[in-house]
Chain A
Amino acid sequence: RKEVEQDPGPFNVPEGATVAFNCTYSNSASQSFFWYRQDCRKEPKLLMSVYSSGNEDGRFTAQLNRASQYISLLIRDSKLSDSATYLCVVFLSGSARQLTFGSGTQLTVLP
């Protein structure tokens, strides 16, 4: 089983739609969680950190469910510019490599 698993998609949604991605992680001792955004063949960039209480940044909401070991990202009112690959990232303190990346979920927002 992969340490971090994401549905690769692709997700094709119309502009204005709400879309949700899930990510599961295997190590229950994982401590920090992030969502990164990667545009085609460019470097990943931090979208938002994921806190235990959940957090929101404009149209984006991230949630953490430790009991079920998954995190989610909700995008409301999708824009064309949201088209990208979204990477789930898990941090495990005490692990030498620490950051583990999911393989990404591809989103295309259609006009």
Chain B
Amino acid sequence: EAQVTQNPRYLITVTGKKLTVTCSQNMNHEYMSWYRQDPGLGLRQIYYSMNVEVTDKGDVPEGYKVSRKEKRNFPLILESPSPNQTSLYFCASRRLNTEAFFGQGTRLTVV
């Protein structure tokens, strides 16, 4: 089954404790991206990657890192999480010039 898989689905952590949210897709898509969604602000892009070893900042990259060592995986890293990073996070993948497929989301709470 074609899918984008994120883990974990829910995470509560403390300020400053490094965490990684994994994202994997099995559709051989070139393009992957991370979004955060907050009430009233919609989906905002954090980082995106156009292929292996090619990543770039989106609209709200501060406080986040990503890597794309393999085509299927695109982890999101929070080196020192802060409460303002409490949000709902989505990973998405697609071929260039086509619609995006989303993971099920990760609800992160930083206390």
- Determine whether the beta carbon of A44 is less than 8 Å from that of B48: no
| Of A16-24, A64-72, A74-82, A100-108, the one with at least 4 CB within 8 A of chain B | A100-108
Contact present for A104 and B42 (CB under 8 Å)? yes
Tell me which of A41, A49, A99 has the highest count of chain B C-beta atoms within 10 A of its own C-beta.
A99
User: Bound complex: CA of A93 vs CA of B97, how far in Å?
Assistant: 7
* A44 CA to B96 CA, complexed, in Å: 18
Interfacial residues of chain A within 4-49, with CB under 8 A of chain B in the complex: 8, 31-32, 34, 41-46, 49
Q: How many residues of B contact A (CB 8 A)?
A: 26
Flag if B103 contacts A101 (CB, 8 Å): no
Distance (Å) between the CB of B94 and the closest chain A CB? 8
A41 to chain B, nearest CB (A): 6
Q: Which of B1-50 contact A (CB under 8 A)?
A: 31, 33, 35, 40-43, 45, 48, 50
A91 to B107, CA, bound (A): 27
The complex places the Cα of A32 from the Cα of B45 at a distance, in Å, of 18
Count the A residues whose beta carbon is within 8 Å of the partner chain — how many?
A: 23
A-contact 0/1 string along B48-84, CB 8 Å cutoff = 1010000010110000000000000000000000000
Q: Chain B residues in contact with chain A, CB under 8 A?
A: 31, 33, 35, 40-43, 45, 48, 50, 56, 58-59, 88, 90, 94, 96-97, 99-105, 107
